[in-house]
Structure 1
Amino acid sequence: MDEQFAYLVLEIVAEIPAGKVATYQQIARLAGKERHARQVGNIMSHASFYGDYPCHRVVNHRGETAVSWPEQRGLLEEEGIVFDSKGRINMRIYQWEI
């Protein structure tokens, strides 16, 4: 894993405010590597090795949480994010805009 890219991604994730979410592709674009959304996902899954980051605020482009992390939804709901009946976040309302 490119550690320089990982730290840049985590710095960006640290800026996502409570009550907002960003997508993997959005983070990759902000980090200057728009086609590396999967790498961003990989970094999120290993973020605890680097410190404490609000990785729960990163979702896919459909507003869905990580299948392998059932606690993610509860963390987002604690911040006031509402899910629809299909378990998705309305990205027009909750997506972080820089």
Structure 2
Amino acid sequence: RMVGRALKQIPDDLSAPCHRVVNVSGRLVPGWTEQKQLLLEEGISFKQNGCVDLKKHLWNYSVPE
């Protein structure tokens, strides 16, 4: 929720890939119809329930040693 609130404060003229932010279940932002299209254009796939397939697209990161 904090991330969502912070992203809402970003000025319109600042280009930020905020469409990539989904909740822990892969749900999209309610009322933002363009979000799914933007993700589809990047090759993101969705489950039948409309959520991002996080098993396939979850960001993998490693902590540098």
Q: Which structure has the highest strand share of the two?
A: 1
**Match of residue 29 from structure 2:** 66
Higher relative contact order (Cα pairs below 8 Å, separated by 6+ residues): 1
Gaps in structure 1 of 5+ consecutive residues? 1-37
User: Residue in 2 aligned with 1:89?
Assistant: 52
The CA deviation string for residues 23-76 of structure 1, in whole angstroms up to 9 with x for no partner, is: xxxxxxxxxxxxxxx2211012222x1711000000001101101211000000
Alignment coverage as a number of residue pairs: 60
Give the aligned CA root-mean-square deviation in angstroms.
1.3
> Which has the larger helix fraction?
1
Partner of 1:46: 9
Structure 2 unmatched ranges of 5 or more: none
TM-score, normalising length: structure 1: 0.56
